[in-house]
Structure 1
Amino acid sequence: NGIEVMTGTSMATPHTSGVAALVWQKHRNYTPQNVKAAIMNTATHDVKNANGTTESVERVGSGRVDAVRAVNQDVIVYNADRPDIVSQSFGVTEAKTNGGVQRFTRKITVDNIGNRAHTYVVSFAGTTQMPGVSFSYDPTVSVGSGGKATITVTATVDPKALVKTQDPAQAKIQLGKARQYIGSLSGRLVLSENGQDLRLPLQIAPKPVSDMKVDANAIEFKDAKTAQTQVSLAGTALNQGGYRSALGAFELGASSPRLQSTSLPAPSTQALDLQYVGSAVKDGKLAIGISTWGNLVSVMPSSEFQVLLDTDGNGRPDWVVVTTRATGLDYPLVGLVRVVGNSLQRDGAGNIVYTDQQPLNGSWGDTDTNTMDTNAIVLPVDLTKMGLDPAQKDLSISYAVSTFSYAQSDAIDST
């Protein structure tokens, strides 16, 4: 006796599968890639949030499916380099601020499977904006019956002008905490003819980066008893538009050789192949610094970092530090869990009991600590939560680091 709005793949997949069956029923010569493109290209209905703001392609792709248009579509648009992909992303692009303006190009194929020629006007409908980056493209494209044409898209990035901006459809605060996000220029490339549009998601996420180095040979201590020294930095720092470079110093705990890619369960797990781990203590907190051989897209839910802490010197872990998430909060957390016997402490329902939780890298999203698309993270631990005195001079903690992935049950790498 009414309607109900539901979201998620469990609801969308059956309906989209039905639309795909209808498309293939009419176009029996279509490949699975053709069917996918027909559905996505004609999904021209914007999806909006509760405030009426159009959701970005990163969140909802091309748009809401139009079954009738998908069935009747005989011109499709897709990635020229990867015909199975119905979008074009330049990805996260690092740009040194002293490197000058950079330009990147991508190709898009317009494939006319029908029996009449078409000429389209090309435009861009943006959903996220970002100063310092822009798209340019061929203004029109013509494709003959049964033929193909190519559209060239160029992304121009001025590193010095980049400002980190957030998707206007995103909530800035979750559970009272500033969320993480990537600044990007994104939207839909639109091909228009006689009031009918075709769309293809288009995106680039440029990120200005510093170019700073420390000469390893210049790091010297006066003698074995000296605990502090000064190091000289050389290069270009970064402090602009919400981006700021940061430096952390850690005592090296272990280094790990690179694993053979053939021994890893999936290409993405290269980001869990440990490179260096180290530790530092400051302001009452223990910080475990970790670098990996590959860049992490994000920390959790597909990846997990775990640190075992032995605080009483008996050779057995007393605490476990683990990356985790909280429901309703789009930010990676670092949880501290007590070890009871040989297991993590749990409540009566079997849920892990966290003694404390800290934001990854020690800061929330209002300070950009580069939590995504990076190979370096910091796991902070409040020493007092473990009953330890940060001022204790002979404080000794042993630790071991492991990484885990959904791709396999055993650890990907361990120190």
Structure 2
Amino acid sequence: MISSVLPTYNRAPLSFVKGQGSWLIEADGRRFLDLGAGIAVNTLGHANPELAQVLKDQADTLWHVSNLYQIPAQQKLADKLVETTFADTCFFTNSGTETAELAIKMARKYFSANGQPERTEIITFEGCFHGRSTGAIAASGSAKMVDGFGPLMPGFVTVPFFDLDIVKAAVTDKTAAIWIEPIQGEGGIRPVPDQDLKALRELCDTNGILLIFDEVQCGVARTGKLFAHEWAGITPDIMMIAKGIGGGFPLGALLATEAAASGMVAGTHGSTYGGNPLGCAVGLKVMEIVTDPNFLAEVNRKAALFSQKLEGLIAAHPDVFESQRGQGLMIGLKCKIAPIDVVNAAYAQDLLTVPAADNVLRLLPPLNISDDDIAEAVKRLDAAASSL
């Protein structure tokens, strides 16, 4: 008999009932150190008191009115995002997948509205992950993700990660945009080198096409800058964010320049829940905290500390780990064994990690993880590796 919850997840046999900071408490009382943060979602840890307070205050005031009306909290968050990024405008959603759908629509509408309706193709990259809607899985080019769900949305050209010459050859008079994660998350914590991001920006400018960044996983201070593309010193035309922006509350946003958004006029897109007062109140508090230069400096300091300790771990277990990669507190441990084996061994040490493609173990802790918790995490990873 089928479960009352659609059985689409391979869940671990763990049920958490409480969280505090970098820790989760299981129903049986065990305390787990969380290096997954809800897959890069709990930016400021579990039950963060500042976020909890603004959510409670907003919940006592107003929950939902819909986008038929002005929403002051939404306007404040939009103003903050525009003030601190490349963007001129924002559209709020509840998830990264929703932002992916709007990114596709916005890129195609831009050219349609400017007299080039034939420009509909979007170049994407092997290993990408932009969500699980039919549009997003079509964009991935992954046979595993699309199996059984056809016919899918046409208009995507998937190229290897990362070969600039092949990208250049893929651009045609039908190309609308290039869509890429500055650091692939599900694909295995694979950063795009700064020089390649700069080359993509130049390629888009030369050919008059749009550059779309998916920063759903790598954005919102996770890499030590507010957004990962800032390390390369360039900006996109359109950017997807979600996960960390809500600190655990469902919230996403699509950010864009005025030019890229020029086709999206009244009636071209909408959302019932997107940008609701609850989500925007929390998102604004997250942004106030993570845009503080001292907070970003701490992320980078903690990342350096974590990296140093992980080098010792890799050296101590050469049969388990090969290398580390990533940026800031978006860390990938390249494994010599199946990463799920390390995940399971870590469970036995009351430690939570996240597997990814390319034989990589993801470490995505809360950005305010303490030095002591970093040391404890590496100690538990060492015990897990020793058991394999």
Which interval holds the TM-score relative to the shorter structure? under 0.3
TM-score, scaled relative to structure 2: 0.25
Higher RCO (CA 8 Å, separation ≥ 6 residues) = 2
Q: Highest Rg: 1 or 2?
A: 1
Question: Higher helix proportion, which one?
Answer: 2
TM value normalised by structure 1: 0.24
